């Protein structure tokens, strides 16, 4: 992301960390730059990961299962990258493969799609850490070693323990990741291509995530939701569950309810536990109208503040999660 430092130097915002004389100094410089960029006062704590942190963590938990979003055939000997994956095929990746996959940006989308892959790897890793419960002595020792050698933070041990207790039962479907919206990109003489933020959309996202009070949302007027004609809402459906035919079945259900269904296909990963309903439209209550037609009452409705640089044709995108239900055993081994 493009950023102009207080001294007038224009650079990538992540260069703030590299300017530090020590890891702690770099972290504090990065904190100040990100806070200034977002227009907020600052942050309470920081966590900085060494470059091998993700690789070591994934190796420590025995690798992760990933379905690449597209075919990749790329080698960069200087950057130590060898990326060869077929889109839509499931791979059991070790740490080096997962990091290489998440660093790939040599496609039409570039940096924004790389960010999505990084978020995908984080989600899959978190899901495996929680679901597989690595609480035996061998794994715990490996995980502690990863943290000791790869993490810099000003979180105290007592605070870390409190956070671990507080978040041990968190629903991963409620963990949200967002990309700062952008309008264009440009090349800088110092450091190559950078993304230019959409300031208005960025400010709206910051307000939503950092400035609005935390609490239960106001109850939705059921009569107002029911009054919206389903025929006015265009819906795309993606399979985020890994269950064969889940997206097609949900698409058929929505069609029977009168919604206009557009594209039907796979999500970027199959690690969605709960169904997510992403609203792109400014139509009030469009997401709630779609949710009311679905059997998955754990589905989450959220405004999609991100952009991929191309206009979104639908009003709503439904990402079908595992809460839709398991398929017959004979179908469970094949995912399409």
Own/partner pairs for 71-79, CB < 8 Å, 24+ apart? 72/101, 72/104, 72/106, 72/107, 74/104, 74/106
* C-alpha distance across the termini of the chain, in Å: 35
Q: Which CATH architecture has domain 2-210?
A: 3-Layer(aba) Sandwich (3.40)
Break the chain into its structural domains and give their ranges: 2-210, 216-331
Question: Phi-psi category of 51—alpha, beta or left, where left has phi over 0 and alpha has psi -120 to 50?
Answer: alpha
Structure confidence at residue 83 (pLDDT): 84
Structure confidence at residue 320 (pLDDT): 93
Entry field: residues in the chain? 336
Q: Is the pTM of this model over 0.95?
A: no
Structure confidence at residue 165 (pLDDT): 75
Residue 318 and residue 237 in contact, taking contact as beta carbons nearer than 8 Å = yes
Could you give the 3-state DSSP secondary structure of residue 218?
coil
d(C-alpha 67, C-alpha 238), whole Å: 14
d(C-alpha 164, C-alpha 72), whole Å: 37
Determine phi and psi for 311, rounding to 5 degrees: -65, 145
Structure confidence at residue 40 (pLDDT): 87
CATH topology of domain 216-331: Alpha-Beta Plaits (3.30.70)
Structure confidence at residue 113 (pLDDT): 80
Structure confidence at residue 312 (pLDDT): 61
- From the list 316, 238, 319, 318, the residue with the least C-alpha distance to 283 is 316
Structure confidence at residue 332 (pLDDT): 38
Residue 98 and residue 121 in contact, taking contact as beta carbons nearer than 8 Å = yes
**Token pair listed for 44:** 């309470």
Structure confidence at residue 306 (pLDDT): 44
Angle in degrees, 0-180, between the axes of helices 53-60 and 111-132, rounded to the nearest 10: 30
Determine phi and psi for 184, rounding to 5 degrees: -165, -175
Structure confidence at residue 331 (pLDDT): 37
What is the full per-residue pLDDT of the chain (336 aa) written as tens digits? 888 888 888 898 989 988 889 888 999 999 999 999 998 888 888 888 887 888 888 988 889 999 887 888 887 766 667 788 888 889 999 988 898 888 887 776 777 788 888 888 888 888 887 776 665 556 667 777 788 888 888 888 888 878 777 776 776 666 777 788 888 888 888 888 888 888 888 888 888 787 776 655 667 788 888 889 999 999 999 998 888 899 999 999 999 999 999 999 998 888 788 899 998 877 888 999 999 999 988 888 887 644 344 456 789 999 998 888 754 443 333 343
Determine phi and psi for 45, rounding to 5 degrees: -145, 165
Which pairing describes strands 316-320 and 276-279: parallel, antiparallel, or unpaired? antiparallel
**Token pair listed for 181:** 């919206």
- The secondary element (H helix, E strand) that includes residue 160 is helix 157-167
**Token pair listed for 70:** 């597209």
Structure confidence at residue 330 (pLDDT): 39
């Amino acid at each position: 992301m493009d950023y102009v430092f207080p001294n007038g130097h224009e650079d990538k915002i992540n260069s703030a960390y590299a300017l530090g004389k020590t890891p702690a100094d770099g972290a504090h410089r990065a904190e100040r730059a990100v806070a200034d960029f977002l227009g907020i006062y600052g942050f309470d704590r920081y966590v900085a990961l060494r470059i091998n942190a993700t690789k070591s963590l994934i190796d420590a938990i025995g690798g992760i299962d990933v379905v690449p979003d597209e075919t990749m055939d790329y080698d960069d000997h200087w950057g130590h990258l060898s990326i060869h994956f077929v889109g839509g095929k499931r791979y059991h990746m070790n740490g080096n493969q997962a990091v290489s996959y998440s660093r790939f940006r040599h496609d039409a989308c570039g940096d924004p799609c790389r960010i999505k892959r990084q978020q995908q790897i984080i989600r899959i890793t978190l899901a495996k850490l929680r679901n597989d419960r690595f609480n035996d002595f061998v794994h715990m020792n490996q995980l502690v070693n990863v943290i000791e050698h790869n993490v810099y933070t000003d979180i105290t041990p007592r605070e870390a323990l409190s956070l671990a207790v507080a978040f041990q039962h968190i629903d991963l479907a409620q963990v949200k990741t967002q990309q700062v919206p952008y309008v264009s990109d440009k090349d800088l003489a110092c450091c190559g291509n950078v993304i230019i933020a959409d300031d208005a959309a960025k400010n709206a996202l910051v307000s939503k995530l950092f400035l609005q009070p935390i609490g239960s949302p106001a109850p939705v007027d059921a009569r107002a939701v029911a009054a919206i004609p389903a025929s006015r809402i265009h819906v795309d459906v993606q399979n985020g569950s890994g269950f064969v035919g889940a997206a097609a079945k949900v698409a058929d259900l929505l069609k029977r309810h009168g919604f206009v269904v557009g594209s039907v296909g796979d999500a970027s990963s199959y690690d969605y536990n709960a169904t997510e309903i992403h609203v792109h439209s400014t139509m009030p209550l469009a997401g709630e109208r779609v949710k009311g037609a679905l059997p998955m009452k754990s589905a989450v409705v959220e405004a999609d503040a991100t952009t991929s640089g191309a206009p979104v044709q639908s009003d709503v995108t439904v990402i079908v999660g595992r809460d839709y239900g398991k398929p017959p055993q004979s179908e469970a081994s094949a995912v399409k």
